[in-house]
Structure 1
Amino acid sequence: MDTRRLLHTFAIPLAAAGLLLSGCSGGSLSPDGPASDAAGAAGGPVPAAALEPYYGQKLKWRACGVPGFECATMKAPLDYAKPDGEAIKLAVARVKATGPGKRLGSLLLNPGGPGGSAIGYLQGYAGIGYPASVRAQYDLVAVDPRGVARSEPVECLTGPEMDAYTQVDQTPDDAAEAGALEKAFKDFAAGCQKRSGKVLPHVSTTEAARDMDVLRGVLGDEKLTYVGASYGTFLGATYAELFPERVGRLVLDGAMDPALPARELNRDQTAGFETAFKSFAADCIKRADCPLGQESVADATARLKDFFAKLDASPVPTGEERELGESLATTGVIAAMYDDGAWSQLRSALGAAQNGDGAALLAMADSYYERQTDGSYANLMFANAAVNCLDLPPAFTAPAEVRAGIADFEKASPVFGRGFAWAAMNCSQWPTPPTGKAHRIEAKGAAPIVVVGTTRDPATPYKWAQSLADQLSSGRLLTYDGDGHTAYGRGSDCIDTAINTYLLEGKAPEDGKRC
């Protein structure tokens, strides 16, 4: 299991990603103005003059892959503290507004992660699946953040090495197993340093937010309007903090709380998955095909824990060389918690695994990790660790700290707590020191920002949305009483209407609106 702060939509057709709505009228397209003096990644101001070549660049659009889509390459400073130095190349894609009606600007998408490909999300879902009224009036635009997918991706392990890594026991029973897990984290970090040492210190959320402002200027938009899902909410909030006067209409769906340090984030997320599992279990025990019995949620919880314990001792076959052990099985279950539409698939996979066939549950874990059919992996997990370990100091730095904290994690989740606590040690071996720290984001002076929270969201607990909306000086909380990760585009007419009205007409929902 490797679930540490992986905050993204589990399947392409789930949530709205990041939405950048920008006005097309003339305005501050360059770095001039108050925002240009915001601190760079290294803590110093970014000289406006040094950034002008980046804001003034012209993108060369070309047809790419999917009909109707265009791609381009944008340059940004590798290190914003040294804007006259080396540049990094970022992949950008768009699909133009279909009309009829007035074009309202550019719509930037980010599906979260960190490490999720915005371009993959645009081409795989949003470009055809977003509401027709929104697609008619906006150019849908995506940029893969630095270090992600097509934008000089962070690379760490080969396919076989990643296969081994995902099977390491993350609920160690003794000092030897704890040492093996610590070594796995160390080897993972060393692989990232070896293969991506140049980019590794420069993939922070702050730098990615600065890149979004360069893109805003390059696209000719006076202000940036954005919908970010999951981790994308932290990216959007960071942008608002850096450039409050350039905020257009921001939707932050499945919000993170930037004020929480890594240990609290991980513990809260542990509790979020417990809430989601209880919701799944309550539904499961009502069904004849429930592999966890038909008695009670408590009994279903006990049965799942017992199943994991059996797999820890004796993995089951999957029809290939990899067996299904506790770590991969837990990841498969976690994957289904992102979307209640996957619950029937989970029931079937758990039932099969209990009968000695782990193939279906392994496939769910592979989907979570973005393992390809040829045995290679997308760089999702590599970028995820690189960004997280740069943004915040580690949750735990040694096995002794984990052991001292396990009780809190197991209190948050009897099912997942132990594994989540050990997984939170991953940044302890990271070769690049963190450049960020937990802090409140107020973004004073920003236009109204809509923060969306789902009451039983596993990956971004509802209280995070409440906290972010409270922190933001112009935050408006929109609540979805439901299951799954994020809310926009997942079947609630109430949520979709409120967000579409905001995007198309500029009318933010009333603070505290519930659906």
Structure 2
Amino acid sequence: MLVLIAATLLVSGLATAAVTGDERPMDPENNLAFQWGPCDPAIVEDPSISCSFFEIPLDYHDRSAGTGRVAVAKANATTERFGTLFLNPGGPGASGLAALDQLGSTVLSLTGGHYDLVSWDPRGVGPLTIPGDIVCFSSVEEYNTFWNGTIELTGIEMTGNFTDPQDIDALLSQAPLMQKKYEELGERCLQQPSGKYLKYVGTAATVRDMVAMANALDGAKSPINLFGLSYGTVFGAWFINMFPERVGRVVLDGVLDPILLASEETTTFWPKQLMDADKVYDAFVTGCALAGPDGCSIATQGRTPADVDANIQTLLQRAHDAAHKNSSVPVTSADIRAQLGSAMYSPDEWATFANVSYPQAVDAVDAETSGGVDSRAVKRQGLRKRQNSDPDAVIYSGQAIECGDSVNRKGTTMDDVFRGIISSSRTSSHLLWPNPLAYCPFWPVRAVERYQGPFNQKLSNRVLVLSNTYDPITPVSGARALVELLGEDASLVLLNGFGHTTVEPSQCLNEIISAYFVNGALPEDSTVVCEVDADYEVFTGIDTEAILAALVS
């Protein structure tokens, strides 16, 4: 999943009233749709943020399906109010309440304090929204028992770009079992209490939820303002094309190509998202080499980026070989690749991986190869976000939303999926592996409403599209594709840096975003490139500019 933010939330003092997308707007000065109250300070730490519930229909096209509710949080404008700005942090499955708590002050500053910031836990997310977390296992023990003996727990073992015949045979031999397991998982999820909501969990309905909230807050014809990040750009692309006449000031950062998502199975779509992943990895090893051993423990004095890469590959090979000898070793090459892939999301994490995670992995693999490690019955519980109020529950909210939005099942087999993984390791990225989008060919439910185009509607206002030049999971090609579809209704600004979404600091980029939200101004050029601030160091003494220069030298 394209997750940016995940946290467990418990909010108190919330009230609810019913407003749906086609009702007459309420007076924003006398708004009964929201009854704002304090959030639980143990969860939402910012005391200036208030919380409420908002009632929604489960199915906007069939009101007999019943109603649900979303948990909503708001940070008030601090100066002359221009309206409401909705924040969608992506995921899918990320908590909007957590996002506002963590990002609220930053976004208020970027927007000049002119907007009430509103975010929410979308349907399918969190313990307070209904439908909330999609729980498929009531405990970690159930999860481990179900997946025991499969690559769901062990990860995929490989080296290089999947050229070892033993690794290939080992993966393909699990195809029949894994297909059976994924099909059983879908039925298991349907049988859980949250299973009855699976068909109502989807992005199109969440778009309608936001429009209904905007109607209540600002009026039925008001322009709707949005800041969408990562998978929030899918949400944003759907919104601006489903409701082109309601588009206000919209910023989309870290863009997925909406045409690909609407037309391809997730298992073929995902490798295309990794097309720049190895370029970000190249930047990481380059920065490490420039920093030297004093700033990056993987480097050795006077060595090159290729030497840093060789050190990492040697560790991966040793972990791989240890796992082949004992499948219960604590640290496998799959574990190390997962940590490395996570670090690539943000250059802020590069030094931590290099100087903390990497040495720990070296020590663990040393112990494995020396025979000093006890075997385990179960390797780990897996990478499942646990936002549910039950701390033992294992949830599948992200998968439910991704798969609910995806194209119809096409008879793809797990053997097809695995052969695609092998191929993508040679054409897309040799380090980063597909996320649980592999579930979707076998997921039993699609959302009752999906938006699959057109994506070139004429918009009531121009939108601002942002991208890094090197993003490991939403390559710049996605932003370019969306801007090409929207034509003169979109402006593209690139940040010449690394990571997922424009996470590196840039005064140039901040000024463009602020001018857009405050004055509606966008750059005259069709594409503007901003640089990362020179005082931002990725490794001690090494900034983004130095890494970029070394990459092209």
What TM-score comes out, normalization by structure 1 length? Answer: 0.79
Aligned to 2:186: 189
TM-fit CA distance, 1:301: 4.3
CA distance in 2, matches of 1:337, 1:490: 12
1:138 to 93, 98, 115: 115
**Alpha carbons of structure 1 residues 383 and 174: separation in structure 2 relative to 1, 3 Å:** closer
TM-fit CA distance, 1:139: 1.2
CA distance in 2, matches of 1:448, 1:247: 8
**Alpha carbons of structure 1 residues 145 and 278: separation in structure 2 relative to 1, 3 Å:** same
1:428 to 435, 441, 455: 441
Aligned to 1:257: 257
User: Residue deviations 1:101-122, cap 9 Å, x none?
Assistant: x111112111110011011111
1:398 to 401, 410, 413: 413
The answer as to 2:154 corresponding to 1:168 is: yes
What are the residue-to-residue correspondences of 1:295-374 with 2, within 5 Å?
295-298=303-306, 300-301=308-309, 303-314=311-322, 323-348=330-355, 349-356=357-364, 369-370=384-385
RMSD of aligned alpha carbons: 3.5
Aligned to 1:154: 134
CA distance in 2, matches of 1:105, 1:495: 23
**Alpha carbons of structure 1 residues 376 and 96: separation in structure 2 relative to 1, 3 Å:** same
The answer as to 2:76 corresponding to 1:96 is: yes
Segments of 4+ in structure 1 off by > 6 A?
A: 365-368
The answer as to whether partners of 2:345 and 2:500 remain within 8 angstroms in 1 is yes
CA distance in 1, matches of 2:430, 2:299: 13
CA distance in 1, matches of 2:403, 2:226: 25
Q: How many residues align?
A: 460
**Alpha carbons of structure 1 residues 256 and 446: separation in structure 2 relative to 1, 3 Å:** farther
| Comparing 289-298 and 233-242, the one that deviates more | 289-298
The answer as to whether partners of 1:170 and 1:327 remain within 8 angstroms in 2 is yes
The answer as to 2:278 corresponding to 1:274 is: yes
The alignment-based identity, stated in percent, is 27
CA distance in 2, matches of 1:306, 1:368: 25
**Alpha carbons of structure 1 residues 59 and 396: separation in structure 2 relative to 1, 3 Å:** same
The answer as to whether partners of 1:304 and 1:415 remain within 8 angstroms in 2 is no
CA distance in 1, matches of 2:122, 2:321: 40
Rg larger in structure:
2
What TM-score comes out, normalization by structure 2 length? Answer: 0.74
TM-fit CA distance, 1:200: 0.6
Aligned to 2:38: 63
The AA in structure 2 aligned to 1:236 is: G
**Alpha carbons of structure 1 residues 403 and 371: separation in structure 2 relative to 1, 3 Å:** closer
The answer as to 2:489 corresponding to 1:472 is: no
TM-fit CA distance, 1:71: 1.0
CA distance in 2, matches of 1:375, 1:304: 38
What SS is found at the alignment partner of 2:238?
Answer: helix
The AA in structure 1 aligned to 2:414 is: P
TM-fit CA distance, 1:444: 1.4
TM-fit CA distance, 1:220: 2.0
The answer as to 2:98 corresponding to 1:120 is: yes
**Alpha carbons of structure 1 residues 127 and 403: separation in structure 2 relative to 1, 3 Å:** closer
**Alpha carbons of structure 1 residues 514 and 175: separation in structure 2 relative to 1, 3 Å:** closer
CA distance in 2, matches of 1:439, 1:309: 45
Unaligned runs of 5+ in 2: 8-18, 42-46, 158-166, 368-379, 531-553
TM-fit CA distance, 1:490: 3.6
User: Residue deviations 1:68-121, cap 9 Å, x none?
Assistant: 22111111111122024301111111121223xx11111211111001101111
What SS is found at the alignment partner of 2:248?
Answer: strand
**Alpha carbons of structure 1 residues 407 and 366: separation in structure 2 relative to 1, 3 Å:** closer
The AA in structure 1 aligned to 2:441 is: S
What SS is found at the alignment partner of 1:472?
Answer: helix
The answer as to whether partners of 1:250 and 1:450 remain within 8 angstroms in 2 is yes
CA distance in 2, matches of 1:186, 1:292: 45
Aligned to 1:74: 54
What SS is found at the alignment partner of 2:69?
Answer: strand
User: Residue deviations 1:21-64, cap 9 Å, x none?
Assistant: xxxxxxxx985xxxxxxxxxxxxxxxx46x989x9962111111
1:506 to 514, 520, 524: 520
The answer as to whether partners of 1:392 and 1:437 remain within 8 angstroms in 2 is no
What SS is found at the alignment partner of 1:314?
Answer: helix
2:430 to 407, 415, 440: 415
What SS is found at the alignment partner of 1:463?
Answer: helix
